[in-house]
Chain A
Amino acid sequence: MKSILIKNGHIIDPSQNLDVQGNLLIEDGKIKGLCQATTTADEVIDATGLIVSPGLIDIHVSLCEPGFEEDETIESGTAAALAGGVTSLGCLPNTSPVVDDRSSAEFILLQAARAANCNVFPLGAATKNNEGKELAEIGQLVAGQAVGFTDADHPIENAEIMRCALEYTRMFDRPILNRPQVPELTDKGQMHEGFHSTVLGLKGIPAAAEEIMVNRDIALAELTQGRIHLMCISTQNSVSQIRRAKQAGIQVTADVTPHHLTLTDQMLETYDPNYKVLPPLRSQEHIDALIEGLKDGTIDAICSDHTPHASEKKTDEILGADFGIIGLETLLPVCIQSLIIPGHLSWSELISKLTRGPAKILGLSKGTLLPEADADLTLINPEIQYILEPAHLKSSSQNTPFLGKELQGRAEIVIVSGEVRYRAEN
């Protein structure tokens, strides 16, 4: 396999506290290490003005295949990932059939290999058919290379099942990923419960719907010594509870989406279904708490929660529209807008939340530029400004509130296993 020299880049790798201007050599699909500018290689990439980062990792993405190919396929979803700078992703088992046995996990891997875009790590269902009633064949799924277990957008409602799932997965040292929402409190809810839901006449989802289950999951993680990962944290009290649990040594991790760091419930004033997400967009005080949680390490990772929907599922009246937005291709610019430009995080801190943090949650040997690591890299242009147009999107779906908005920053070049898989078009 050929060698690539990345010259004169701003190399940032939080896994080794590296933040230097320099040159990086890749050989045979692996990181060779820092080198002189005069080093010879088969291909030379001029990275002047670019940040050279470990490839970004997004640990919960809906690829919709099999079963919902009208929304996304593994091929289109992984192409969108590459365009967003994501070199590895964990895909949710919210498919039809659900990924709750070995063969379905292997199907995902087969389709990902055929697409040859980014690395795909299947997340297996925690319970059969994501129904929350009986454990899925977790051991078989591990054999099929599932890296974590979750019922995707179905919260694991039954506390006894959650307890068993946390205890059982300890045998395999894999986490349970749960989306904490008490169903009775989210039922028919459309948006955050507060002043704006009152004015708009849309049924609200209180912050407590999340916080009650966060509290339960932390208690069960403490009881079982299992690993709980809380997905899409969105409230002030959730952050406080996770902070206290971490201080107490409980194995809990958490992530947040870029849109929950940027958009508020006020955006629903337009009744645009592209602001309808779960958990719902909250108010500014919740956003402030999430940012504090990122700064002090309470929140480990930022994930897109990429949820594609074909246009007919997202363009009509808001009560009938599905929850969720695509996010792979806006992950980086929205993080820049909400975290870098206001000065909340340094580039090194942000990259850590997009690489090392998610790799640790799923136990992936990714997210580092240490010598002999897989040569997955994202070269980021941090300054470029552009209007997001439909033609930019590689995803099959366009359900994003950021269409037509001015964004800053993008992945310029993306390398997977030592091979340039994506270059941004000018």
Chain B
Amino acid sequence: MNIDHEYRTDISSGWTRKHILGLQDLTKDELNIILNQAAEFKRLAAIGETKLTPLAGTVVANLFFEPSTRTRISFGLAAKRLSADTVDFTASGSSLSKGESFVDTAKTIEAMGVSYVVVRHKTPGAPQLLAQHLNANILNAGDGTHEHPTQALLDIFTIREHFGKIEGLTVTLVGDILHSRVARSNIWGLKKLGAHVIVCGPTTLMPSELSRLDVEVSHNLDDVIDRTDCLNLLRIQFERQRGHFFPSIREYAHLFGMNKQRISKAKDDVLILAPGPINRGVEITPDVADGPHSVILGQVSNGLIIRMACLYLLHLQRTASLGIPG
């Protein structure tokens, strides 16, 4: 069954971008195209259309140079839902340990007939580097502490799904902003779509000159919680704790953890997001994580359709650039 033709012209019109490297580059219109395309895939899934065929005959390579479980599975499944063949690469035990360069590895895999490359890498800018050296369409699955566009898009999609809009909402990102690619992508996306963004965390985990991104900076969660429509709780990485960024996990949980007492100060319809995997009892207590405000598992489901939308739009650009009729 090929049902993509019926929604191609309206939802996806205006998409001309070859790569999705980050949300900094995307316009408001482009963000809305992705979100609307994802909504269409979600509608189709709801009526049982879970296996679509637009990418049949193409190959998506998932190149993960950094450990990942959730994102890798989500991308792999998204490609399969669109009927692409997939090849998976993980860095451990690979030729990289023999000294082959990152670009050479990617070029070699591309030469096996790959059209779309999903890349995760510890180095910021690694997807940009591939975009310079490969013919494939590149989709950033997280580059170091730079951007993680599909995670931010699924967060934004989830918020929009709940509130019916983004514009005018106040979204607070809580935690380790300094090392968070999720935070950076969220800030770009949410600001472009008209949200007020608060970043909240210890002073040591805030990058310098953050306020130049037109966000409100806070170091006291209790001061901002009652103004917040949506809290996005970033994961604390325990290895950072040894870096003296804050004195103890216990103190972090005391100052920035989301618990029953804090949520009682929040708006009645406050939405709790967490990019996961969550540290129960640190960023969030189990009762809140599993409580009525939390949409953590909904985010995971939405991640799949966001990634389908991104792959599909890159496919439309590719076929258009090759002059293949839709």
Contact status A198-B213, CB under 8 Å: yes
Q: Please, how many angstroms separate the alpha-carbon atoms of A253 and B17 in the complex?
A: 52
CB-CB contacts of A179-211 with B at 8 A, as 1s and 0s? 000000000000001110111111110100000
CB-CB contacts of B202-215 with A at 8 A, as 1s and 0s? 00000111101100
Binds B, one of A88-96, A99-107, A314-322: A314-322
Contact status B207-A198, CB under 8 Å: yes
Contact status B184-A201, CB under 8 Å: yes
Contact status A194-B208, CB under 8 Å: yes
Q: Please, how many angstroms separate the alpha-carbon atoms of A317 and B144 in the complex?
A: 11
Contact status A317-B126, CB under 8 Å: yes
Q: Please, how many angstroms separate the alpha-carbon atoms of A319 and B66 in the complex?
A: 14
Residues of A within 8 A of B129 (CB): 271, 316-317
Q: Which residue on A lies nearest to B99, using beta carbons?
A: A312
Residues of B within 8 A of A198 (CB): 207-210, 212-213
Contact status B103-A271, CB under 8 Å: no
B143 interface contact, C-beta 8 A: yes
CB-CB contacts of B168-211 with A at 8 A, as 1s and 0s? 00000000000001001000000000000000000000011110
Contact status B208-A195, CB under 8 Å: yes
Q: Which of B122, B123, B144, B208 contacts A204 (CB 8 A)?
A: B208
Give B111-128 interface residues, CB cut-off 8 Å to A: 121-126, 128
**A271-B208 contact given A199-B184, A201-B144, A316-B102, CB 8 Å threshold:** no
CB-CB contacts of B64-106 with A at 8 A, as 1s and 0s? 0000000000000000000000000000000000000111000
Q: Please, how many angstroms separate the alpha-carbon atoms of A91 and B181 in the complex?
A: 41
- B97, chain A: closest CB distance, angstroms: 14
Give B133-182 interface residues, CB cut-off 8 Å to A: 143-147, 181
Contact status A316-B103, CB under 8 Å: yes
Residues of A within 8 A of B125 (CB): 200, 202, 271, 317-318
Q: Which residue on A lies nearest to B209, using beta carbons?
A: A195
B16 interface contact, C-beta 8 A: no
B24 interface contact, C-beta 8 A: yes
Contact status A319-B122, CB under 8 Å: yes
Q: Which residue on B lies nearest to A272, using beta carbons?
A: B125
Could you say which of A198, A204, A318 has the most chain B C-beta atoms within 10 Å of its C-beta? A198
Q: Please, how many angstroms separate the alpha-carbon atoms of A198 and B177 in the complex?
A: 10
Contact status B144-A319, CB under 8 Å: yes
CB-CB contacts of B4-46 with A at 8 A, as 1s and 0s? 0000000000000000000010000000000000000000000
Q: Please, how many angstroms separate the alpha-carbon atoms of A271 and B133 in the complex?
A: 14
Q: Please, how many angstroms separate the alpha-carbon atoms of A123 and B229 in the complex?
A: 63
CB-CB contacts of A121-160 with B at 8 A, as 1s and 0s? 0000000000000000000000000000000000000000
**A195-B212 contact given A201-B184, A316-B101, CB 8 Å threshold:** yes
Residues of B within 8 A of A319 (CB): 122-124, 144
Q: Please, how many angstroms separate the alpha-carbon atoms of A195 and B208 in the complex?
A: 6
Residues of B within 8 A of A270 (CB): 128
Interface residues on A, range: 20 to 34
Residues of A within 8 A of B128 (CB): 270-271
Q: Which of B145, B210, B212 contacts A201 (CB 8 A)?
A: B145
- A38, chain B: closest CB distance, angstroms: 60
**A271-B101 contact given A198-B207, A201-B144, A201-B145, CB 8 Å threshold:** no
Contact status A317-B212, CB under 8 Å: no
Q: Please, how many angstroms separate the alpha-carbon atoms of A320 and B146 in the complex?
A: 16
- B187, chain A: closest CB distance, angstroms: 9
Q: Please, how many angstroms separate the alpha-carbon atoms of A320 and B143 in the complex?
A: 14
- B149, chain A: closest CB distance, angstroms: 13
Q: Please, how many angstroms separate the alpha-carbon atoms of A201 and B176 in the complex?
A: 13
- A204, chain B: closest CB distance, angstroms: 7
Q: Please, how many angstroms separate the alpha-carbon atoms of A204 and B207 in the complex?
A: 9
Residues of A within 8 A of B103 (CB): 315-316
**A201-B101 contact given A271-B124, A271-B125, CB 8 Å threshold:** no
**A197-B207 contact given A316-B101, A317-B102, CB 8 Å threshold:** yes
Q: Which residue on A lies nearest to B212, using beta carbons?
A: A195
- A179, chain B: closest CB distance, angstroms: 23
Residues of A within 8 A of B181 (CB): 201
Residues of A within 8 A of B144 (CB): 201-202, 319
Q: Please, how many angstroms separate the alpha-carbon atoms of A194 and B212 in the complex?
A: 10
Contact status B123-A317, CB under 8 Å: yes
A201-B147, A316-B101, A319-B124 are known; give 6 further A-B pairs, CB within 8 A. A201-B146, A202-B125, A202-B146, A204-B208, A318-B123, A318-B125
A: residues with CB less than 8 A from B are: 193-195, 197-204, 206, 270-271, 312, 315-320
Sample of 15 A–B contacts (CB below 8 Å): A194-B209, A195-B209, A195-B212, A197-B208, A198-B213, A199-B24, A199-B213, A200-B124, A200-B125, A201-B144, A201-B181, A202-B146, A203-B145, A204-B207, A270-B128
- Cβ-closest 8 pairs across A and B: A271-B125, A201-B146, A201-B145, A317-B123, A198-B207, A319-B123, A195-B209, A201-B124
